[in-house]
Structure 1
Amino acid sequence: MMKTTRLSALLLILGSAAFHAAHAAHYPVTVPSCNRQVTFAHAPSRAVSNDVNLTEMLLALGVRARMAGYTGISGWKTANPQLAAELKGLPELAQRYPSLETLVAAHADLYVAGWNYGMRVGGPITPATLAPFGIATYELTESCAHVMPRPAASLDDVYNDLRNLGAIFDVDARAQSVIAAMQARVAAVAKALNSTHERPRVFVYDSGEDKPFTAGDLAMPTALIRAAGGRNVMDDLAQSWAQVSWESVVARDPQVIVIVDYGAVTAAQKAAFLLGSPALANVAAIRNRRFVVVPYDAATPGVQNAQAIETLARGLHPEAFAAAPQR
Structure 2
Amino acid sequence: MSTLHNQPVSSTPTPNTSHRTGRALVALSAATLLFLAGCSAGPAGSEGSGQTATQSPKPTASNSPSDATTQTAYPIDVDTCGTTTTFTKAPERVVTAKSSTMEMMLALGVGDKIVGTSYLDGPLAPWLAAEPGATSQAVTTPLSEKLAGQESLLELEPDLVYVGWESNLSADGMGERASYEKLGVNTLVSPSACKGSDYQPNPLTYEDVFSEIQLMGRVFDAQDQANSIVENERQELAKITKDTRGLSALWYSSGSKIPFVGGAKGSAQLTMDTIGLTNIGADIDDTWGQMSWEKVIEADPDVIVLVDSAWGSTEKKIGVLESNPATAQLTAVKNKNYLVVPFPATEAGVRTVSAATDLSAQLAELEIAGR
TM-score range, shorter chain: 0.7 to 0.9
Q: For 2:329, what is the secondary structure of its paired residue?
A: coil
Q: 1:97 touches 1:119 (CA, 8 Å); kept in 2?
A: no
Q: For 2:163, what is the secondary structure of its paired residue?
A: strand
1:220 aligned partner, one-letter code: S
- Post-superposition shift, 1:81? 7.8
Alignment partner for residue 162 of structure 1, among 213, 216, 229?
213
Query: TM-score, normalised to structure 2's length?
Result: 0.72
- Post-superposition shift, 1:30? 2.4
Q: RMSD value over aligned CA atoms?
A: 2.5
- Post-superposition shift, 1:39? 2.1
Aligned residue number for residue 145 of structure 2: 95
- Post-superposition shift, 1:180? 1.2
Alignment partner for residue 274 of structure 1, among 305, 313, 321?
321
Match status 1:185 vs 2:236: yes
Alignment partner for residue 30 of structure 1, among 68, 77, 91?
77
- Post-superposition shift, 1:259? 0.6
Alignment partner for residue 145 of structure 1, among 195, 201, 205?
195
Alignment partner for residue 240 of structure 1, among 287, 296, 301?
287
For 1:179 and 1:252, the matched residues in 2 are separated by 36
- 1:23-62 matched pairs, under 5 angstroms: 26-62=73-109
Change (3 A) 1:81 1:38: closer
1:88 aligned partner, one-letter code: T
1:58 aligned partner, one-letter code: M
Change (3 A) 1:264 1:114: closer
Q: For 2:281, what is the secondary structure of its paired residue?
A: coil
- Post-superposition shift, 1:225? 1.1
1:29 aligned partner, one-letter code: I
- Post-superposition shift, 1:38? 2.6
Indicate the larger mover: 34-43 or 247-256: 34-43
Query: TM-score, normalised to structure 1's length?
Result: 0.81
- Post-superposition shift, 1:40? 0.7
Change (3 A) 1:281 1:94: closer
Match status 1:79 vs 2:129: no
Aligned residue number for residue 175 of structure 2: 125
For 2:71 and 2:363, the matched residues in 1 are separated by 49
2:168 aligned partner, one-letter code: G
- Post-superposition shift, 1:254? 1.2
Aligned residue number for residue 271 of structure 2: 224
2:104 aligned partner, one-letter code: M
Indicate the larger mover: 272-281 or 55-64: 272-281
Q: 1:202 touches 1:258 (CA, 8 Å); kept in 2?
A: yes
Of all paired residues, the percent bearing the same amino acid is 27
Which structure: greater helix fraction? 1
Change (3 A) 1:232 1:25: closer
Structure 1: gaps (5+ residues)? 1-22, 321-327
For 1:121 and 1:71, the matched residues in 2 are separated by 17
Q: For 1:94, what is the secondary structure of its paired residue?
A: coil
Cα deviation digits, residues 35-72 of structure 1 (max 9, x gap): 23332111111111111121111000011222222111
